Amino acid sequence: MRLRSMIIAVAIAATPAFTVAAQDDELTRVLIQEIRLLREELQSIAASNLRSELLLERVRMQSTIVQNLSRELEDRRNQRRYQAMEEESFNYQEQFEEEMQARLRTVTDPNERRQIEREIEMFQTRIEIQARQRLEEEARTIELQQRLDQAQANLDEYFEAIDQLIRELE
């Protein structure tokens, strides 16, 4: 009987120890799971932080590109306005050429005729150069506008990516 009492006493005494050990194991398991979740969250935050830094740097760079292209395009447009004013004076030059052509028809002196012909030729060459320059400027302006539009679209994409990142973090 004594043996039986002893077994019962040991069993009663051991039950709380097994319960405490089981509770400690459960607590350890829960804590490890929580640590794993925290680690994953920290890794996710670190990745989001890196993405946001990269996006912000791209926004800075793209903003600089947009500003430079905008400035260059505005300079081209100002130059074009200046050329338009020059073209107004060009109308007077056309009248000058017509007068020179009329004068050429009436002049009989060969030296004076050659001089007038050279002036007409120089005038026509200048007209051709101006026309070529105008076409080149128009093509360059169109190209700049297209590059500006593309740069602005890229910038908009970066802003959208930042907005999406913010939504993910919320």
Tens-digit pLDDT profile for residues 82-100: 877 777 766 677 777 788 8
Check if the beta carbon of residue 148 is closer than 8 Å to that of residue 73: yes
Provide the pLDDT for residue 20.
Answer: 59
What DSSP character marks residue 85?
A: H
* Token representation of residue 97: 């050429």
Q: What is the pLDDT of residues 4-62, one digit of tens each?
A: 554 555 455 545 555 556 688 899 999 999 999 999 999 988 888 898 899 899 999 99
CB 140 within 8 Å of CB 77:
no
Task: Enter the pTM of the model.
Answer: 0.61
* Percent of the chain topping pLDDT 90: 41
Dihedral over Cα of 117, 118, 120, 125: its sign: positive
